Structures are given as structure tokens and as C-alpha cells.
């Protein structure tokens, strides 16, 4: 059974640092685009260009006032107001707008940022005195689902993953890889990577895409895949919005389970914790479907908090467990199943648990629906918002750390820098590099197994001391400084740097290809200025 599927069409000739340096030469697009752009000695004020955009025929609309919302994001740290916000209804709206600004050439200082659900941390989806494209306005045409041997869903890049989940479940299907939070847009996560506890099996979300539709920095609309315009396809995946704006994606699906066995256990020994995590992700078959972990620092009553959603395997042992003043490591696992498979599933789970070295008193289990499990973080977020804590600062720090260096990292960071407290969850779990496509723009440590360590901290506005933004930013700096001084081969996820030199170091051996793709697909460096990677037009003489 299948909804009518409309193929993505290629329309390559149809009408997203703050600084921009003016250049006197003509820059000619040289990657299949016949457009040329020129420059004059007097730059055109950005507002004049955006004002003149109103003459363009659009299905959506352009807003030139009351756009303060586009200067905010989840991080709540950087606020760069745009001059205008485009609310597109069609891909053509985006294409015509980008092409119009591109054809102004270096006369224009207008930058363009695509904004999804506003979940950026460091202003990456903002465009100071530029144009923000509100991708959530781009919801049509409706999702198209294909069943069969290689099922997939075609969706707008402005669609939320939670909506995709609900729609595909009607066909007994679901995407293979997720983020922990589903109220994010497709284009947003695919521009980064999209990582969660399924990544050790299926890789990140960028590894589970069949096809994309992209509007380049020249206004071209290009359909791309592994076999068609592959350079753009790989470049855009994990490309931080630097080469084009993703407008549609064809996402791989698999049969969806109905239920989840959800398990938590604790460790006091870091070596045992990581050894068990690594063993679980090394099993080819008959392992868990989801493996994550988190660090618990100086918290009391841990197990009492779990009792709201989990049941202890041994209530008497659990009641006698005390955690005061210690650091523990929680291993979180999930096994997907259908109700008629419960007995076999439980036998398999018992076998896996028998091979682990957790503290026996801390085994807690729960059974929930597949949707309830995947959408668990949103439930917690709603509780925080109900307490008036929805608009705090989120100075999150996400690191990818090679397995060979994780113990050195943990000893210093969890033993010294964070030994007293933590202002939010600290996730830590391993993934297999073999599940990551090295052709994409995303960079990982060069080891077979590496760890995601995510410091998901919150800072209360106008506070002082350990709850302040200044304190947590300084704490993040101490962690990064340690990594640098100890010469750890760490990569940042959702990275934020101030200079191109730092970005060059981040991309390492991939920098040359990254720069070439920028020159080919966004030569005027119009797109995604919030990352501060390319702050001026790409000279053809480079």
C-alpha cells in the first residue's frame, strides 16, 4: 500500500562571520550555471536589496518588520537580528530569492541563513542584517511514502521528525536513525549529522538518505544522490548549510516496532562501564537497538527518581542503594519488539544483561510504546517549560573523542573539572566509525570506535556562581583547553569557531574538498554566515 509518490524533479536552471569584503573582479559561476555577477565600486545597502525583493513573484511572503524571533535560538546566547525573513511556500520562492541576491554579486552585503525549528546553539541559523529563510513554512507538497523492498519517505526539509514518525507509522514503517529530540527539522539535522543511541547500528541520520533536493548559493535547484550530482550530495550532508539549502529529502525507512524494553543500570567503575558499552556495540546481531550512557555527578536519590518511569528488578536491593557524593555512570539500553515477540525478547535481554558488570541493585526496567520512547525528551522539555525554565541559556558542548583517549579525558573532566556538580545531563556513549560515510562533509576522529560526550548544561539568566552563563562557558573552555594541552584528537559536534583557521583545523584533511565545494556551489559565500567559516566571496583565483 502506498501513497501516490511524486519524484523529486531537477530544475537546475530555475528561478542561505558577519563581514563581507568587496572585490573588484567579476566572479563567474563555473559549476554548470550560466549566471554571471558583477560588482561596482559602491556597494548596495542590504536593506535596499531586501526591499527590492518585494517585487519578486512569490507564493509565500517576505517580512521586513517584527522579525525579532529570527534572532533567537535554543542556545539563547547569540542574538543577531535579520533585516528580513522569507516565509516560503514553495522551493521556487527560495530559489528565486537566492538567485536574485546572487545576481547582485559583491555589490551586496546580504547574507542568507536557513532556519528550521530554531534549535541552534550558537546563532548558526541567524543572519545579522541579512535574510533568514523560515524553512518550517516550506511544508508542501505533503509527505510521500513508498513501501516495498526499499521503503522511503519524501519530505520537505522544513518538516519535523516527530511528524515523520507519526506519518510513517501508519504504514508500519519508521526512519532508522534518530536524534534524542524529534522536534527538529529534517534540513537542520541533515546539515549537521543527526546522532542518537541508534548510530552504532545504522550510523547518523546523514547515512540513511537516498536523495536530496538542494538550492545552491547560486539559486539553482539540484536533485542529488549517491549516483547523481554526488559531490553536492555528500557535501551538503553534514555540510553546515555551506553549499546549499536542503529543501527535500528522501529518507530510508524500516519496519517499525510497537514496543520498547527500556533499561537503566549504574556503574561506579568507568572502565567496566566503557568496556560493556563497547562490547554491546561490537555485536553484529542479537544486541540492543539503542545504547547510550550518561554521567551522574554528586546526586542523591538517583534510583528514587527513576521509580516514576521504571521498576527495579529487585526492590529490596534498590532501596538499600546509596549514591550520595559519588560519581556514577548510567548505561541506558533499549530493545525494540512487538507484543507477540515479548517472550523471546525477554530471554535475549536477560542473556545480554548477564554479560554486563553493572551494580546489581541498580537494574531498572520499563516497557513503553515506540513513540513514547523516541519522544521522551520532549516530555521532559514540556515539564521544564511549565516551570518557567524554557528560555534559559544552553551553552552545550558536544565532543567526539577517540576510544584510545576516553579514559584520559574522563579522569580529568569527570574527576576534576566537573567533580562537584553538573548543570545538566552529561551523555557519553560509543559509536562505530564504520557506520559513518566518510564521503560526507562530517568529520570524526580517526579510530574504529569513538565516543560522543555531550555536556547539555543550562544557565539561568542574570544568575551568578555555578548557575551563570559565564561560569559554564568558562567550564567549557577548561574542558577544551585540557583537550588541546593533552593533545587529544577531539572533534566538536555542532561546532562553533570564530576564525577560518580554527575551522581549517577542525576539518583537517577534508578542508581542501570543503573549500572547493564552497567555491563551486556558493562562490559569493552567501549561505549560513552564522558558522563564520567563509566570510567573503570565494575568488576564482584561489
Q: Is 109 a catalytic residue?
A: no
Q: Is 501 a catalytic residue?
A: no
Catalytic annotation, pick one of 73, 292, 367, 405? 292
3-state secondary structure of 369: strand
485: its cell numbers: 594541552
3-state secondary structure of 406: helix
Report the candidate in 407, 419, 404, 424 with the shortest Cα–Cα distance to residue 269: 407
Cβ proximity of 147 and 177 under 8 Å: no
Measured CA to CA, the distance from residue 142 to residue 90 in angstroms comes to 12
- Helix residue spans in 307-364 (DSSP H): 315-319, 342-354
Cβ proximity of 329 and 267 under 8 Å: yes
Q: Is 496 a catalytic residue?
A: no
Catalytic annotation, pick one of 59, 142, 180, 447? 180
260 CB-near residues (< 8 Å, 6+ apart): 334, 335, 336, 337, 367, 368, 369, 370, 372, 373
267 CB-near residues (< 8 Å, 6+ apart): 273, 276, 328, 329, 330, 331, 357, 358, 359
Catalytic annotation, pick one of 20, 87, 117, 119? 119
DSSP state of 193: -
Other CB atoms within 10 Å distance of the CB of residue 305? 11
3-state secondary structure of 286: coil
Helices 511-521, 500-507: inter-axial angle, 10-degree rounding: 120
Please give the helix or strand (H or E) that residue 450 lies within, else none: strand 449-455
Q: Is the dihedral of CA 432, 194, 187, 76 positive or negative?
A: negative
3-state secondary structure of 48: helix
Report the candidate in 122, 124, 131, 116 with the shortest Cα–Cα distance to residue 49: 131
Active-site positions read 119, 180, 292
Amino acid at each position: 500500500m502506498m501513497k501516490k509518490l511524486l519524484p523529486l524533479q531537477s530544475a537546475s536552471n530555475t528561478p542561505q562571520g558577519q563581514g563581507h569584503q568587496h572585490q573588484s573582479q567579476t566572479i563567474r559561476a563555473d559549476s554548470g550555471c550560466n549566471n554571471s555577477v558583477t560588482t561596482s565600486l559602491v556597494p548596495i545597502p542590504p536593506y535596499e536589496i531586501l526591499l527590492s525583493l518585494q517585487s519578486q513573484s512569490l507564493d509565500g511572503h517576505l517580512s521586513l518588520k517584527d522579525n525579532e524571533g529570527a534572532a533567537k535560538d535554543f542556545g539563547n546566547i547569540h542574538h543577531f537580528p535579520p533585516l528580513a525573513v522569507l516565509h516560503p511556500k514553495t522551493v521556487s520562492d527560495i530559489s528565486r530569492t537566492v538567485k536574485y541576491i546572487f545576481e547582485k554579486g559583491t555589490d551586496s552585503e546580504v547574507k542568507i541563513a536557513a532556519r528550521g525549528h530554531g534549535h541552534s546553539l550558537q546563532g548558526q541559523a541567524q543572519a545579522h542584517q541579512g535574510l533568514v529563510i523560515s524553512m518550517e513554512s516550506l511544508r508542501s507538497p505533503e509527505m510521500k511514502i513508498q513501501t516495498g523492498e526499499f521503503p522511503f519517505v519524501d519530505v520537505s526539509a522544513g518538516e519535523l521528525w516527530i511528524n515523520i514518525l507519526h506519518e510513517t507509522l501508519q504504514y508500519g514503517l519508521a526512519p532508522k536513525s534518530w536524534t534524542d529530540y524529534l522536534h527538529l527539522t529534517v534540513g537542520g539535522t541533515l546539515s549537521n549529522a543527526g546522532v542518537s543511541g541508534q548510530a552504532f547500528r545504522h550510523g547518523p541520520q546523514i547515512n540513511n538518505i537516498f536523495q536530496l533536493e538542494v538550492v545552491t548559493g547560486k539559486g539553482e535547484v539540484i536533485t542529488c544522490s549517491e549516483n547523481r550530482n554526488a559531490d553536492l550530495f555528500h557535501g551538503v550532508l553534514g555540510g553546515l548549510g555551506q553549499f546549499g539549502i536542503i529543501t527535500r529529502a528522501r529518507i530510508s525507512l524500516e519496519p517499525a516496532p510497537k514496543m520498547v524494553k527500556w533499561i537503566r543500570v549504574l556503574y561506579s567503575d568507568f572502565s567496566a562501564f566503557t568496556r560493556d558499552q563497547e562490547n554491546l556495540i561490537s555485536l553484529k546481531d542479537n544486541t540492543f537497538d539503542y545504547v547510550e550512557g550518561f554521567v551522574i555527578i554528586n546526586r542523591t536519590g538517583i534510583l528514587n527518581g527513576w521509580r516514576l518511569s521504571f521498576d527495579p528488578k529487585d526492590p529490596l536491593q534498590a532501596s538499600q542503594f546509596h549514591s550520595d557524593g559519588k560519581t556514577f555512570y548510567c548505561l541506558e539500553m533499549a530493545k525494540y519488539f512487538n507484543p507477540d515477540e515479548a517472550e523471546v525478547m525477554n530471554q535475549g535481554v536477560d542473556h545480554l544483561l548477564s554479560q554486563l558488570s553493572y551494580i546489581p541493585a541498580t537494574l531498572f526496567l520499563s516497557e513503553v510504546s515506540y513513540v513514547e520512547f523516541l519522544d521522551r525528551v520532549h516530555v521532559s522539555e514540556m515539564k521544564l517549560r511549565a516551570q518557567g525554565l524554557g528560555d534559559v541559556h544552553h551553552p552545550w558542548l558536544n565532543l567526539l573523542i577517540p576510544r584510545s583517549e576516553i579514559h584520559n579525558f574522563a579522569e580529568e573532566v569527570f574527576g576534576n573539572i566537573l567533580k562537584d556538580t553538573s548543570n545538566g545531563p552529561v551523555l557519553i556513549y560509543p559509536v562505530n566509525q564504520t557506520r559513518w560515510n566518510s564521503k560526507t562533509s562530517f568529520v570524526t576522529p580517526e579510530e574504529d570506535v569513538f565516543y560522543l560526550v555531550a555536556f547539555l548544561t543550562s544557565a539561568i539568566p542574570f544568575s551568578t556562581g555555578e548557575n551563570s552563563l559565564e561560569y559554564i562557558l568558562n567550564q567549557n573552555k577548561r574542558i577544551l583547553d585540557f583537550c588541546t594541552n593533552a593533545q587529544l584528537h577531539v572533534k566538536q559536534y555542532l561546532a562553533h569557531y570564530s576564525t577560518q583557521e580554527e575551522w581549517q583545523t577542525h576539518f583537517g584533511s577534508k578542508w581542501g574538498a570543503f573549500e572547493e565545494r564552497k567555491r563551486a556551489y556558493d562562490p559569493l559565500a552567501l549561505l549560513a554566515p552564522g558558522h563564520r567559516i567563509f566570510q567573503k566571496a570565494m575568488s576564482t583565483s584561489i
